[in-house]
């Protein structure tokens, strides 16, 4: 159960986790002097606009991850791949003035990218490149063979995992990596392979791309990511993410439906970020451009780790195995892809090898997500109580005159919504006495001001 010279490796899925798995397997094998054959199966063309290249993702990448990828051999060509460098975010809460929070330090800025080819390109649009296509090209340059084929089934042949495609295509591998994500129907094929794998629990989100044009994007949104904590039942989190000519709408919550989306888009806090004459008109169906204005989808979102995402000669990576709760999915793809490659090359490809060396990585992310659920529960609690929101906003406002390291609430909120730190780090930072007493004081003073104004 070990990889040897000329072992064949198949990777199903060419998104970030699949591309990085191929890259790291070949990179590490090269250092070991171990020639490998790596095939990546990806039916989508990430260079194409619209649904053909769509990867159903908001596309936010932290500055720290960009630096990490550059150090690993993925130097991001920012001029085309990065749609907007986010240097601040604007917090919108119901009934309260907005507050702008700049990046606490330069190293925690974030970048907006298109994971797939992006929405259908209107006339006169500026050029851009897909982040996923960039990663897949890095794996190809390292020596991976990218096969544009949709896998229709998986099976075992002579004890080896085997991929099956249309037209009688069939290929067995010494090691098979599942990088298909929770939105792919192929994920169920891994569950049918006969080992103890069960896919992660999921919920449904909402994404839309709204075309405003570069001038409007710069005028109304600039380089700020807009976060919304609003009094809308079932809505946990919402954001508007500016890109070159589009703004990405991202909603997370429970049972998100047409009525919830319409209510959100009609909120005055949201309308203030858009041109006065612009009107929300949902497309007639998912991924339809609605006269060139919007496209939308309802992607599944990973809510927890998969059960037993590995077996002899098989392992799953990315959100098919585990991802960070509500943020930084690309960062989790990087961590799981590299951990899987290290385990396969340095320890072996038996289930016991993955249990010992890969499962602890998955478990660390899952444990951190449990803390994340507590943090989001506290955030929702603040959404429901007006006097708590006032205290939070007041604390953030007062911090803006302080040095970056002393903006404690600003840093907690920034890291919570951008993925620049683990949930554990965020929680420990919020437990510091200085943070608690400043929040308590700000909440009391905000309550007094509101009481006397009434």
pLDDT in tens, 288-300: 444 445 788 889 9
Q: Which residue has the tokens 């793809």?
A: 333
Q: Indicate the DSSP class of residue 269.
A: H
Average pLDDT (368-378) is 92
Each residue's pLDDT tens digit, 151-167? 999 999 999 999 999 98
Residues 6+ away with beta carbon under 8 Å from 429:
408, 411, 412, 415, 435
Report d(CA 402, CA 399) in Å as an integer: 5
**d(Cα 240, Cα 220) in Å, to the nearest integer?**
11
Main-chain dihedrals φ then ψ at residue 323, nearest 5 degrees: -150, 170
Nearest of 183, 202, 199, 181 to residue 191 by alpha carbon: 199
Task: Kindly tell me if the per-residue pLDDT of 395 is higher than 80.
Answer: yes
What proportion of the chain, given as a percentage, has pLDDT over 70?
Answer: 91
pLDDT band at 87 (very low <50, low <70, confident <90, very high): confident
CA 347 to centroid of chain Cα atoms: 29
Q: Give pLDDT tens digits for 223-261.
A: 889 999 888 888 888 999 988 788 999 998 888 888 999
Orientation of helix 408-418 relative to helix 433-453, angle to 10°: 100
Same fold for the pair 7-52+131-200+303-369 and 82-113+203-301: no
pLDDT at 292: 44
- What does the domain layout of the chain look like in residue ranges? 7-52+131-200+303-369, 82-113+203-301, 376-453
Given this model, what pLDDT does residue 107 score?
53
CA separation for the pair 228, 237 (Å, rounded): 7
- Lookup: tokens for 52: 């053909």
pLDDT tens-place string over residues 15-51: 999 999 999 999 999 999 999 999 999 999 888 887 7
The CATH number that domain 7-52+131-200+303-369 falls under is 3.50.50.60
Residue 294, beta-bridge partner list? 210
For residues 112 and 216, which has the higher predicted lDDT (pLDDT)? 216
**pLDDT score at 190:** 95
Q: Which residue has the tokens 């159903």?
A: 56
pLDDT of 432 over the 70 cut: yes
| 221, 75, 118, 278 alpha-carbon torsion, rounded to 10° | 10
- Residues of the chain with pLDDT > 90, as a percent, come to 47
For domain 82-113+203-301, which architecture applies? Answer: 2-Layer Sandwich (3.30)
Question: 3-state class of 218 per DSSP?
Answer: helix
pTM value > 0.85: yes
């Amino acid at each position: 159960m070990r990889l040897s010279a000329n072992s064949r490796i198949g990777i199903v899925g060419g998104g970030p986790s699949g591309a990085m798995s191929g890259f790291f397997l070949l990179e590490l094998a090269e250092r070991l002097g171990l020639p490998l054959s790596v095939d990546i199966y990806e039916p989508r063309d990430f260079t194409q606009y619209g649904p053909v290249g769509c990867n159903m993702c908001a596309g936010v990448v932290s500055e720290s991850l960009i630096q990490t990828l550059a150090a690993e051999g993925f130097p991001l060509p920012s001029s085309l791949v990065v749609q907007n460098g986010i240097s601040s975010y604007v917090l919108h809460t119901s009934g309260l003035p907005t507050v702008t929070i700049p990046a606490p330090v330069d190293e925690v800025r974030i970048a907006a990218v298109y994971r797939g080819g992006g929405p259908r390109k209107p006339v006169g649009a500026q050029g851009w490149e897909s982040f996923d296509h960039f990663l897949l090209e890095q794996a190809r340059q390292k020596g991976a063979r990218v096969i544009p084929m949709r896998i229709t089934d998986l099976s075992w042949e002579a004890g080896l995992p085997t991929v099956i495609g249309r037209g009688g295509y069939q290929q067995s591998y010494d090691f098979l990596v599942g990088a298909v994500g929770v939105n792919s129907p192929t994920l169920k094929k891994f569950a049918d392979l006969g080992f103890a794998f069960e896919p992660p629990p999921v919920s449904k989100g909402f994404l839309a791309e709204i075309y405003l044009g570069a001038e409007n994007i710069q005028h109304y949104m600039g380089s700020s990511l807009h976060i919304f904590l609003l009094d809308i039942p079932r809505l946990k989190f919402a954001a508007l993410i500016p890109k070159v000519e589009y703004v990405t709408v991202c909603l997370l919550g429970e049972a998100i439906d047409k009525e919830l989306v319409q209510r959100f888009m009609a909120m005055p806090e949201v309308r203030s970020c858009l041109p006065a004459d612009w009107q929300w008109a949902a497309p007639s169906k998912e991924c339809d451009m609605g006269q060139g204005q919007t496209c939308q989808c309802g992607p599944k979102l990973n809510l927890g780790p998969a059960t037993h995402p590995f077996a002899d000669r098989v392992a799953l990576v990315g959100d098919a195995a585990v991802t960070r709760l509500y943020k930084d999915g690309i960062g989790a793809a990087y961590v799981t892809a590299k951990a899987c490659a290290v385990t396969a090359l340095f320890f072996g490809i038996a289930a016991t090898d993955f249990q010992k060396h890969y499962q602890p990585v998955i478990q660390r992310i899952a444990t951190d997500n449990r803390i994340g659920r507590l943090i989001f529960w506290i955030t929702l609690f603040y959404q429901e109580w007006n006097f708590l929101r006032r205290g939070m906003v007041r604390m953030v406002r007062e911090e803006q005159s302080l040095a970056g390291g002393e903006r404690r609430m600003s840093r907690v909120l920034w890291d919570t919504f951008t993925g620049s730190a683990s949930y554990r780090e965020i929680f420990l930072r919020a437990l510091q006495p200085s943070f608690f007493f400043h929040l308590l004081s700000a909440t009391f003073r905000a309550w007094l001001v509101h009481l006397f104004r009434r």
